[in-house]
Amino acid sequence: MAYVKRAKDAIRINTTDLTGAIVSSGVFDIISKCAEKGLITTAVENELASSSTNHSDERRAERLIHNIRTSLFEGTEEKLMDDFLCILYNKGNIGARAVTKKVASDYGGNLPEFQKLFLPHQPTKQIPPNQQDNTSSNGEPNTSNDGNISQDGSWFKKTFLGAHTGNETKQSPVFSYSMSAKPHGLALIINNVRWLNGKDTRHGSDADAKKLEKILTELCYKVILKTDLHATKMKAALEEVRRDVQDSHDSFICCILSHGTADGVEGVDGNGITVLELAETLSPKYCEMLKGKPKLFFIQACRIKDEIVSDSTGGDDIVPDKPGGTPISLPPDADFLFGYGTTHEIPAYRKQVSGSFYIQALCKTFAEHSSSLSLYDMLSIVHQKIATDPDLRKYCDEGNHPWQMAEMVSTLRGNVYFK
């Protein structure tokens, strides 16, 4: 079982480089070769290669890598890894070949056919069975049929990692959280839409909540949706959901869609609650079962001191999520991540029909890349989408509004991979 995990880890930590290698080598050709070798099914091949599928070459490569990684099982992982690396090495350029060597060294298992690619050609000698000897020239027993390739991959390690052939296979120094539970855990969505004090209704927020519920369910979370909560009820909702956390869960997600303050969010009663107060409910002091596990908050709300009055007139116009306070507070505990729709003292904009720029970008990115990229990488993509969104840029430029930029604040100790 250890080599299955090592195989999956080797592919996962090299996903970005593998994607580039596959694209540069001809993604359709690689897909076809993988199907010929039985690494993917015909149905998967047709889906990946279909011209009607609106995927970029990078997306097709990512999906191919995901299908191969999820096909790694005890007893089959060695041949699958061997075949996959041989295909990419034989079809690829110098850069792609370098990537295959890196994956092989991270895996560290036996790859007989792949290793043969680096042996000098030698004529095959026919040796009568009664003259065959199972020892090498130095008297050590051979561990493979041809006497040149070791079953533990030490030949490959020696060739590409230097003279040492012990257990020093190069591994990524970045820690990754265990995300193997089904479900991963609970995901609470707090969707505040209608205020009691007459403040603008947050039109479009229901679209955000709907998309979040869909993608979080697909990511294997049990979703709980709460709507229009007072400030104190928001904290109470987290405390209530906390009681359902199980020791088997490997993470927790909380999404808050609301008007905001500089250091937190508003309840529909107009009162604010800080991020610190909300996050503390999940700290090890109050929730031992989430100790050492990722606790992820995604917040769509303004982070400004003074209310901004929108000049929107309806339709799918863009409006800010309002109001004010003091500098941001964060809990000191490890294993928290806070994804904000905007930076401090800047509004977070929202379309009144299709939803906020941040949540829509977040859901789209999770849907497209959660099978292959880490949470950090996906949030970088979200930040890029917010920074370059043409509708948002036009609204800010033409109305002289502050420019929105998403932000991430994290005390996570490593990578989070949802799949």
The Cα 321–Cα 94 span in angstroms is 50
Phi, psi of 216, rounded to the nearest 5 degrees = -70, -35
Which residues share a beta bridge with 135? Answer: 141
The Cα 302–Cα 308 span in angstroms is 10
Which residues share a beta bridge with 297? Answer: 254, 338
Q: Which two tokens stand for residue 78?
A: 């060695």
Side chain identity at residue 158, one-letter code:
K
CB under 8 Å to 214, separation ≥6 — which residues? Answer: 363
Q: Which of 184, 377, 183 is nearest to 294 (CA)?
A: 184
| Identified catalytic residue from 302, 363, 383, 401 | 302
383 is an active site residue = no
Would you put residue 323 in left (φ > 0), alpha (ψ -120 to 50) or beta?
left
Report the side by side order of strands in the sheet with 348-351. 318-321, 348-351, 355-356
The Cα 375–Cα 27 span in angstroms is 25
Place of tokens 């997600």: 253
Residue 329: alpha-carbon gap to chain centroid: 26
The Cα 255–Cα 359 span in angstroms is 9
Distance of CA 413 to CAs 173, 293, 298, 383, 416, Å? 11, 10, 18, 21, 9
Q: Which two tokens stand for residue 97?
A: 């070949």
| Identified catalytic residue from 184, 259, 383, 401 | 259
CA atoms within 13 A on the CB side of 103: 30
Coil, strand or helix at 323? coil
In residues, how long is the chain?
419
396 is an active site residue = no
Pairing mode, strands 348-351 and 355-356? antiparallel
Contact 273, 267 (CB under 8 A): yes
Contact 262, 300 (CB under 8 A): no
Helix axes 77-91, 2-13, angle to 10 degrees: 30
Residues annotated as part of the active site: 259, 302
